[in-house]
Amino acid sequence: MRSRRALVTGAAAGLAAGIAQAIARDEFAHVAITFRSTSPDATLTAIRAAGAQASAHRVDFCEPEGEIARALDEIVATAGPFDTLVHAVGPITVKRFAKLSAAQSREMIAGNLESAVLVARAVLPAMRERRFGRMIFFGANGSSETRPDVGLSLYGAVKSGVTAFARTLALEEASSGITVNVIEPGDIRDKRITREEARQGKARNPRGRPGSFEDVADVVRFLIAEERDFVTGAVIGITGGLLAADERNARF
């Protein structure tokens, strides 16, 4: 019998959309997603086809904190309580720091780091009460080491902040039966392709092929499984072995 409920942020498109669909095939009764402007209809259809109920909720994580908190509380009240969080939302602008506008900087700080704090605050009370929870946050390749990449000064900084926040949360919430882990996707350029399609391509990483949403979803599914109660505070790279900044740096 399906009983679990998940919240996946930023899942109207991209990697999060594929993750939402993938976890819906497991024991989840309901998968709720947030979106900003992209239509969530395709993701909702995919979740329902996978056997779970689905709902979409508009949240702009760049709005004032009070409005975001109220929106998240309403989601928890109407579609929760959630035992699983996949926080995948994370706006990115690739520019040298000197060319970043204040608005672009603010969007990355609010959309990545501040959103992680607000979503965690919204879902944790129910997890603590149930003494069970699974939380996944998105870092970026190298964020656990504060690895510098040209053009990613603000994005790298906030993703390192998300990683530090999540790993500390893992220590603080472990006694409540809540695991908190971080995934670091590599340079997955086409976020719609399957693993089989990705195997037909080439990429500049040790594996030699691009990543796919299925590669990321598999790791998420592993970490949020009910029996996975001893893996917490981990940072897992899904990169095809890519450890350094790729050829993008040459373009700046």
Residue 242: predicted pLDDT: 84
What pLDDT does residue 244 have? 61
pTM, two decimal places: 0.93
Count of domains observed in the chain: 1
pLDDT for the residue 252: 42
Instruction: Return the pLDDT at 246.
Output: 55
Beta-carbon neighbour count of residue 131 at 10 Å?
10
**pLDDT averaged per 10 residues in sequence order, the chain, 252 residues:** 93 96 94 97 97 97 96 98 97 95 96 98 98 97 88 95 98 98 90 88 87 95 97 95 62 45
Q: Residue 96's domain is classified under what CATH number?
A: 3.40.50.720
Domain of 160 in residue numbering reads as 4-251
Which residues fall within 8 angstroms of residue 90, CB to CB, at 6 or more apart?
A: 10, 111, 112, 115, 138, 159, 162
